[in-house]
C-alpha cells in the first residue's frame, strides 16, 4: 500500500544470505546421512518366494499338522538358512490352510491342542492365548488378531509355502 520503496538494509541482506547459505550447507551435510538411516523403510519389501515344505498334498488331513522347513534368508550382508513352521490342514471347504504358529499377542509359538483344557483349539502357553481351528483368535484371550496365513501353491503334488500374510481383526 505504502508509496515508499521497501528497502532492504545491508544488515537484512547479509542476514538473509548467511541464513540461506548456512541452510544449504546444513542440508547438504545432513541429506545423505538421513537418507542412509531411513533406507530400510524405503527399500521395496522382498517378494515372498515359495519353498517346498516337504509335504505331499495327499497327506494333508483335516487335523492340523506341523511342518518345518528352511528358507534362505538375506539379512543385509548376512545370508543364512532359517527355520519356518506352519500348521497345515484342510478346512470344511477342502481348502488348504497353512497357519503361522507365531502368536499375534507377543510372538510366542502356538500349538494345536497345546492345552488339554482346550481341545480343538490352538493354544499359546505364554499368556493362555487361544484360537479356533481356522486361526481366528478367541475373544477374551490376549491375541488381537487371527494367526497369519501363509500363501500357498501346489506343484507336482507337493505343498509350497510363501509369505505369511496378516489377516484382519476378528
Partner 1 sequence: MLQKIYDWIDERIDITPIWRDIADHEVPEHVNPAHHFSAFVYCFGGLTFFVVVIQILSGMFLTMYYVPDIENAWKSVYYLQTEVAHGQIVRGMHHWGASVVIVMLLLHTLRVFFQGAYKKPRELNWMVGVLIFFVMLGLGFTGYLLPWDNKAYFATQVGLEIAEQVPFIGEYLKTLLAGDAEIVGAQTLTRFFAIHVFFLPAALFGLMAAHFILIRRQGISGPL
DSSP 8: P
Total residues at the site for ligand FES (CB under 6 A)? 11
C-alpha cell at 125: 502357553
Site track 91-110 with ligand FES (rule: CB under 6 A), x = hit: ------------x-xxxx--
The Cβ of residue 61 has, within 10 Å, a number of other Cβ atoms equal to 10
For the bound state, the minimum distance from the C-beta of residue 25 to ligand FES, rounded and expressed in Å, comes to 49
Cβ–Cβ < 8 Å for 73, 80: yes
User: CA 19, CA 71: separation in Å to the nearest integer?
Assistant: 53
126, 151, 155, 166: which one contacts ligand FES (CB under 6 A)? 126
DSSP 146: P
What is the number of helices (H) and of strands (E) in the chain?
Answer: 2, 9
From partner 1, ligand FES, none, interface partner of 126 (C-beta below 5 to 8 A by class): ligand FES
Q: Which is nearer to partner 1, 127 or 153 (CB)?
A: 127
Walk across the sheet containing 122-124 and list its strands: 111-112, 122-124, 129-131
Please choose, from the candidates 35, 66, 40, the residue with its C-alpha nearest in 3D space to the C-alpha of residue 53. 66
- Per CB under 6 A, the segment of 10-18, 21-29, 72-80, 120-128 that binds ligand FES is 120-128
User: CA 108, CA 106: separation in Å to the nearest integer?
Assistant: 6
Q: Does 135 bind ligand FES (CB under 6 A)?
A: no
For the bound state, the minimum distance from the C-beta of residue 45 to partner 1, rounded and expressed in Å, comes to 5
From ligand FES, partner 1, none, interface partner of 45 (C-beta below 5 to 8 A by class): partner 1
Provide the binding-site residues for partner 1, judged by CB under 8 A: 37-38, 40-41, 45, 73, 75-78, 106-107
124, 147, 159, 161: which one contacts ligand FES (CB under 6 A)? 124
Residues lying near ligand FES in the complex (CB under 6 A)? 103, 105-108, 124, 126-127, 129, 142-143
Amino acid at each position: 500500500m505504502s508509496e515508499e520503496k521497501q528497502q532492504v538494509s545491508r544488515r537484512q541482506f547479509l542476514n538473509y544470505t548467511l541464513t540461506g547459505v548456512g541452510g544449504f550447507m546444513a542440508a547438504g551435510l545432513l541429506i545423505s546421512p538421513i537418507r542412509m538411516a531411513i533406507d530400510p523403510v524405503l527399500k521395496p519389501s522382498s517378494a515372498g518366494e515359495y519353498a517346498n515344505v516337504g509335504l505331499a498334498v495327499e497327506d494333508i488331513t483335516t487335523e492340523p499338522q506341523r511342518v518345518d522347513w528352511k528358507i534362505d534368508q538375506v539379512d543385509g550382508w548376512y545370508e543364512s538358512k532359517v527355520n519356518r513352521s506352519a500348521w497345515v490342514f484342510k478346512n470344511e471347504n477342502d481348502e488348504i490352510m497353512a497357519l503361522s504358529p507365531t502368536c499375534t499377542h507377543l510372538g510366542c509359538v502356538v500349538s494345536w491342542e497345546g492345552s488339554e483344557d482346550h481341545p480343538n483349539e490352538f493354544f499359546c502357553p505364554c499368556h493362555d492365548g487361544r484360537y479356533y481351528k481356522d486361526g481366528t483368535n478367541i475373544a477374551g484371550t490376549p491375541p488381537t488378531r487371527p494367526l497369519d496365513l501363509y500363501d500357498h501353491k501346489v506343484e507336482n503334488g507337493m505343498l509350497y509355502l510363501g509369505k505369511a500374510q496378516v489377516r484382519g481383526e476378528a
